[in-house]
Amino acid sequence: MAMLVAVWDAFKAGYLRVIAPVADLLVRHRVSPNLITTVGTLCTMGAGVIFASGHIRTAGWFMGLTALFDVLDGTVARRTGRSTVFGAFYDSTLDRVADGFVLGGLAVFYGVNEAHRSPVMLSITIAGLIGTFLTSYTRARAESLGLDAKVGIVQRPERVVLLSAPQAFFGLALDGWVLAGIVTLLTVTAWITAVQRMLFVYTVSRAAEASGELTPAPRHPGAQPASSSPSMSDDVPAPFAP
């Protein structure tokens, strides 16, 4: 595991060096980080459409090339002093849109492609989509309670790499088993990560509540204490943290 972490860290450092000139150019021209986020999301949505059409290798390359937007928006925001609360919220929200399109595109592929139609893989892909959203929500909900739940075996950068690099090089190799293996791996790791975050929040919150450092939160955000009269605010959805 330590070796994998070291390899991944070296890969990220090398990637940042490669895209540094692009970041310098965007900083020099004062390009809006939110614009970079928007363009990147539109490109990733395009990759999802390509996945749905069955051109897996093309989608992998396209998604890999557009993944740099995920890094550039934050880099440009920090270097130009334009980091904002809304920017973080906007970036996090559009990440969910991008994830939905990519995994949704793969679900369409497994649902309608004549050569690779598979109810099993369609179900696994949908489960992966739910798991991916759940990993994001568990962290966001934990942060809204004042807890940092950045734990788990797969974060979004790793997920993007797994959805792009293997597909770019292997496409539908071995009659699509490479793609099926990646999708299954992402689904399993997404659910494992979600469970890890729930267990983390359970452990940390129980310890904090026992020591008096954390006040138990209402089960539904916006709910009134038991002694208060109920109101429509009981149905307010949970805030989604960046």
Question: Where in the sequence numbering do the catalytic residues fall?
Answer: 95
Backbone angles phi, psi at 32, to 5 degrees: -65, 130
Q: For residue 6, is it left (φ>0), alpha (ψ between -120 and 50) or beta?
A: alpha
Q: Which residue has the tokens 């209402």?
A: 218
Contact 6, 62 (CB under 8 A): no
For residue 205, give both structure tokens.
């919150």
Contact 129, 107 (CB under 8 A): yes
* Cα–Cα nearest to 38, from 90, 99, 105, 102: 90
